[in-house]
Amino acid sequence: MKTRLYLIAALLLCIALNGCENPWMKELVEPLKFKYKIGDTGPGGGIIFYFNRAGFTMTDTGKKAHYLEAARSDIKNAAGDILIKWGEDTGVPGTSEALGSGRNNTRLMFDYQPSGATDTASQLCLALGNDWFIPSWEELVLLWNNIELSPSTSFYWSSTQEDNNYAVSLSTTTGKYSYQKSGAFSVRPIRAF
């Protein structure tokens, strides 16, 4: 009898996890779907720094994500330096400050860099693979508010462009700061899932 009950429970759980539309079953299973909390190690090996149960839309795919995960350290260029230029002083149309836009912004940054540009933030970040990207302004603020960034640097790039020559960065002492893209600041990659 116990075996039969276990099998029924397992079957119900399987149905619920695979899209059962029964409201009471969703309420029962919902806590199982969200297994991370802020500060946990995420599936990419980084640190979970944001969770939204309702989810937020990723602008590059239109899909919902619920978590943001930060890499454990800032990216480095070939010389081992953590101070990275955003890119060349060239226009990158379509970037946004919004939550969910960092991955799309990073791809745009990469696509609009002139040929021959090296060691730009987007090149180094995309080379990490596994869906890592430079946070948008709003994502960077969430990162700053929820985990401790490197004490050895005072400025972090976002993937948000201000205009053709300037991008939005975060000063850890004064907040939002626009700076010339060829300037060198730190970059903390993140990923969404």
The token pair that represents 135 in the structure block:
């946070």
Identify whether 109 is part of a domain: yes
| CA count, 13 A, side-chain hemisphere, 75 | 29
Residue whose pair of structure tokens reads 């978590």 in the numeric block: 67
Considering the domain architecture, whether residues 78 and 163 belong to the same structural domain is answered as: yes
179 shares a domain with 146: yes
Do 26 and 73 fall into the same domain? no
Verify that 22 and 63 share a domain, yes or no.
no
Q: For residues 16 and 109, state if they share a domain.
A: no
Give me the number of domains the chain comprises: 2
Query: What pLDDT score does 148 carry?
Result: 83
Is residue 17 domain-shared with residue 103, that is, in the same domain?
Answer: no
Domain identity same for 79 and 170: yes
The tokens describing 92, both together, are: 């990158």
Q: What is the pLDDT at residue 24?
A: 56
Which residue range(s) make up the domain with 11?
Answer: 2-33
Is residue 7 over pLDDT 50?
no
Which residues share a beta bridge with 190?
70, 133
CATH number of the domain at 143, please. 3.10.100
What is the chain's Cα-based Rg? 20
For residue 171, give the H/E element and its range.
strand 166-171
pTM reported for the whole predicted model: 0.81
Residue 135 and residue 51 share a domain: yes
Q: pLDDT digit string (tens) for 69-112?
A: 999 999 998 889 899 999 988 899 999 999 999 999 999 999 99
Both 92 and 157 in one domain: the answer is yes
Do 188 and 106 belong together in one domain? Answer: yes
Q: What is the dihedral of CA 48, 52, 53, 58, to 10 degrees?
A: -100
Nearest to 138, CA basis, from 82, 75, 59, 61: 59
